[in-house]
Structure 1
Amino acid sequence: MSLTFSKQPGPRERHLQRKYNNPLFTSGDAITQQDLQNALEQDKKALQQFTEQFRDLVQRAVKLDKNEERDVILKIKAQSEQLYGVCTGLPGDQTPFLEALKKLISAVSKTLHSVKDDEPHAIETLREDDEYTALHLQLCTYAIVSDILNPDQNIGSDELVPTLLSESENGLQAALVLFPPERLEVMIDEGKQLLKNVESKGQNLPQAWQRLTQMESWLKGM
C-alpha cells in the first residue's frame, strides 16, 4: 500500500517519510496508514502546544526592561530561539509565527544590550551571543536541523545516522554544525558499518555513500 504524505509535514510525519521504504532504516518497510495518522495527530498537538508556549513567551517578553536581571533576559532569549527552531519544523506554513519570533528575538537582544554590565568581557560576550543567534536562525531553515534540535526527540539516537545519510547535501551540511568532532567520528564509523550491512543484502546506495564522504570531509576540516 502506498502512503501519501503532506506537502508541508510536521516533524513526526516528516520522519516517517524519511523512513518509508528506506533500506537505511530497519522499520522503513513496515510503516502503515495508522502510523501516518498517528503522526499527523501528534504533529497537530505539537502545533497547539507551540502556540500556547509562544503566547506565554510574548507575555513575559513585553514586561522586560533594562532594569531586569540579565539572567532573566537571557533565559527568555534562549527560549525564543528554541521556539524558532521548533516552529520551522511544524506542519503547514508558519511564516507569520517565524517573522514574529524574529522580531521578538531582536527586541529581547536590544533589551539585553541596554543592560549595564561592569564585566570587562560583557561586550565581547554579547557579540558572540549575537553571532550564535544569527547562525541558529540560519541553520534552522533546514528541517533536519529543526528535527534534531526538537526537544521532543522524534529522531531516536539509533536513527540519527541513517537520518543524516538520507539527507540532501545542503541539509547535511547544516546539520553537521551541531556535532562535536568526537561525536562525528562515532557516527561516521556507524555509517560505514550500516552501509556495508545494507550492501550485503543487495542494496546499492551511492547517494548515502556520498553523504558519508561529506561527513568525513567535514570532520577533517574541523
Structure 2
Amino acid sequence: MAWRLWKTEKRQDETRSWPSETHQSIKQLLGMYLGGGSAPFAGWAAPGITFMPDVEPVLRNGVRGYQLALWFWLFAEKHGTIAARMARESFGLLAEAAQPSSGDKIDALLDLENRLAHSVEGISSEERRFRLEGLPVELPMEFFLATGFLRLSPESPYAGDESGSLQGNDYKLADCFRHATEEALAMFRPMIDAVEFDAKSLPNWKWSTHPGAAERHLQRRHSNPLFPLHRQMVTAHDVYESRLADARALHEISNELGDLSDSFFQTAELPLNWQSFLEGYRDYVDRLEERCLAAGGQNAALGEAIARLRNDILTTWRTSLHKNRHSLAALDQEEAQRSERRALLYGCDWTAQLLSNGSLIPPEEVVPALLSESPSELEKVVAAVQAEPRLHETLSQCGATAHRLVTESSVGGNNIPDIGDKLRILWGPGRPGAGMTSLA
C-alpha cells in the first residue's frame, strides 16, 4: 500500500477507545472527516506552512483526502481489498445522506488519491536523484505526490499545465503531505487495530459498475418482483460473499492461464502432430476466454492476457503452415466463425452465465433473470439463442414462463420496467406468445 512509502515513526494515540464494529467505525471516521475541525484532518498543514487563499481550499481538500485514503489502505491491509471497498462504499453513502452530493465528490477524490499513490510507487530511487551544486540530492516521495496532485486535480489552478511553475507550492505541499501522514497514521493505526470486519453490520452498499457473475445475479434478484420474495432479499453480507466468489473465479482462470502459457513457451520444438498439438492449446485458451467472459467483473486485463497467448498460438500455427494459401484460408475462415459464435453467445451476461459450467443462475430463475436484463441486452440474448440450435427449445420455454410470470406480477400490482418491450423482443413474430404483450 502507498502509505508504506513514508517511513514514519509509530506514534500512536493510546488515549482513546475505538469501536470494533465496522459500521460504527465508519460512522466515527465520517464525523471526523466532515467535521473538519477534528484530528487528524484538522492538522493537515505542516507547522509554519501557509498558502495563498486561491489555492488553499484545493490543497486542504487534497491532503485531507489523502489522509482519508490512508484509513482505507490500512483497512485493506488488515481485512482485504474487497472488505475495504465495501467499507468505502458505505462511507460514501453515509456521507451522501449527511451532506447531499458529497458522496460522489469523496469517491472521486479517493480515486484520485489512489491513482497518485500508484504513480508514486512506480518512481524508482534513481529517478528521484539529481545533483545540486555538485552535491547529490534525492527528492522525497512526498514531493512527487504533491506535484502530481497539483497537476492532476481538476480543481487545481495548475491542472493540465505540465511545465508551468508551481510557485513553490509543490515543496510546501510536500511538507504538508508528510506531516498529515504522520498525524493520520498516529490515529488510524490504533483505530484499525480495534475494528473487525463483518459485512452483516453494513446497512448499504453500491453495486459494482462491472459486476462479476455472482454479484450480477444478486443485482437481478434484489427487490425484483419476478423472483420469489425470499430471493428478493439481499444483504451487504451477500454482496461481500459474491464479490469474493467473483474474485476467486478470475484468480483461478489467471492461474490456469499462467500454467498454460508456461507449458506452451517451454515447448522447444513442435511435435510431428503439431496441428492437433496447437489445436489443443487453442481449445484450452478458448475455454479460458469463455470462462473469463462468463465470470465478468474486472476481467479486462485477464481477457487481454488470454488474447495475447491465443495470438502467439495462432502465429506459431500460421508459421507452421509455410505459406500454404489453402490451409491459411481455411484457418482464417475457422477463426472468423469461432469469433462470430463467441461474440453472439458470450456478448451478454445472461447467455454467458447460462452456458458456463456451474452456472450461478438456478434453473428456476433463468427466466426471471432474463427479464431482468435491459431491452438492448435482451435483443442480444434472442439473437444468440436463435443462432444456437441447442437453445431453441429454451427460447420457447422462456416465452411460456415469461407469460406466466408477467401475469402473476400484474395480478400483484407490480410494475416491471420496460416489460412490454421485453416481451415483444422475447416472443417476436412467429414465436409462442406473440401478440400477448397486452398483459404488460
* TM-score by shorter chain over 0.5: yes
- Count of matched residue positions in the alignment of Structure 1 and Structure 2: 216
Counterpart amino acid of residue 258 in structure 2: R
Following the alignment from structure 1 to structure 2, what is the Cα–Cα distance between the partners of residues 134 and 51? 21
The Cα of 1:77 is off from its aligned counterpart by 1.7
Matched residue SS, 2:260: helix
**Higher mean displacement: 11-20 or 63-72:** 63-72
Mapped to 2, the partners of 1:207 and 1:22 lie a distance apart of 13
Quick check: 102-111 or 156-165, which moved more? 102-111
Please point out which of 182, 188, 195 is paired with 2:393: 182
Q: CA deviation at 1:45?
A: 1.5
Structure 2 CA distance, aligned partners of 1:128 and 1:158? Answer: 38
8 A contact 1:8–1:92 mirrored in 2: yes
Give the match's secondary structure for 1:88: helix
- Contact 2:285/2:306 (CA < 8 Å) preserved in 1? yes
Q: Distance in 2 between the 1:208 and 1:124 partners?
A: 45
1:210 aligns with 421
- TM-score, L = length of structure 2: 0.43
RMSD over aligned CA atoms reads 3.0
Name which of 53, 56, 61 aligns with 2:259.
56
CA pair 209-75 structure 1, distance change in 2 beyond 3 A: farther
CA distance in 2, matches of 1:4, 1:133: 36
From 294, 298, 308, the equivalent of 1:93 is 298
Are 1:5 and 2:207 matched, yes or no? yes
After TM superposition, give the deviation of residue 13 of structure 1 in Å.
Answer: 0.9
5+ residue gaps in structure 1? none
Amino acid in structure 2 at the alignment position of 1:200: V
How much does 1:17 deviate?
A: 0.8
Q: 1:66·1:111 contact (CA, 8 Å) conserved in 2?
A: no
**How far 1:132 sits from its partner (Å)?**
3.0
Change (3 A) 1:219 1:41: farther
TM-score normalized with structure 1 length: 0.80
Question: Could you tell me how far apart the structure 2 residues matched to 1:39 and 1:219 are?
Answer: 39
- 2:280 equivalent to 1:75: yes
Residue range with higher mean Cα deviation, 188-197 or 163-172: 163-172
Stretch moving more, 51-60 or 27-36: 27-36
- Aligned partners of 1:197 and 1:124: how far apart in 2? 54
Higher relative contact order (CA 8 A, sep 6+): 1
- Whole-Å Cα distance in 1 between the matches of residues 226 and 334 of structure 2? 37
Give deviations 1:156-177, integer Å, cap 9, x for gaps: 1211111111112232233231
Query: Shift in Å at residue 207 of structure 1?
Result: 1.6
User: Percent of pairs identical after alignment?
Assistant: 22
Task: Give the drift of 1:206.
Answer: 5.2
1:189–1:114: structure 2 CA closer, same or farther, 3 Å change rule?
farther
State the shift of 1:143 in Å: 3.1
CA distance in 2: counterparts of 1:212 and 1:71, whole angstroms: 45
Change over 3 Å in CA distance of 1:152–1:163 after alignment to 2: same
- Between the aligned partners of 1:191 and 1:124, the Cα distance in structure 2 is 44
SS at match of 1:175: helix
Structure 1, residues 11-70: CA drift from partner, whole Å, max 9, x if none? 101110111111111144222222222212211211221111111221233338474454
Deviations 1:112-131 (A, max 9, x none): 55667xxxx97886455313
Equivalent runs, 1:1-222 vs 2, <5 Å? 2-26=204-228, 27-62=230-265, 63=267, 65=270, 67-90=272-295, 92-112=297-317, 126=331, 129-139=334-344, 140-176=346-382, 177-178=384-385, 179=388, 180-205=391-416, 207-217=418-428
TM-aligned CA distance change 1:112 to 1:174, over 3 Å: farther
> 1:145 touches 1:174 (CA, 8 Å); kept in 2?
no
Q: Which has the larger radius of gyration?
A: 2
1:92 & 1:206 partners in 2: Cα distance?
25
Contact 2:289 2:303 in 1 (8 A): yes
Query: Counterparts of 2:416 and 2:279 in 1: how far apart (Å)?
Result: 45
Task: Quote the Cα distance in structure 1 between the aligned partners of 2:292 and 2:305.
Answer: 11
Stretches of structure 2 lacking an aligned partner (at least 5 in a row): 1-202, 432-440
Rounded Cα–Cα distance in structure 1 between residues aligned with 2:327 and 2:368? 42
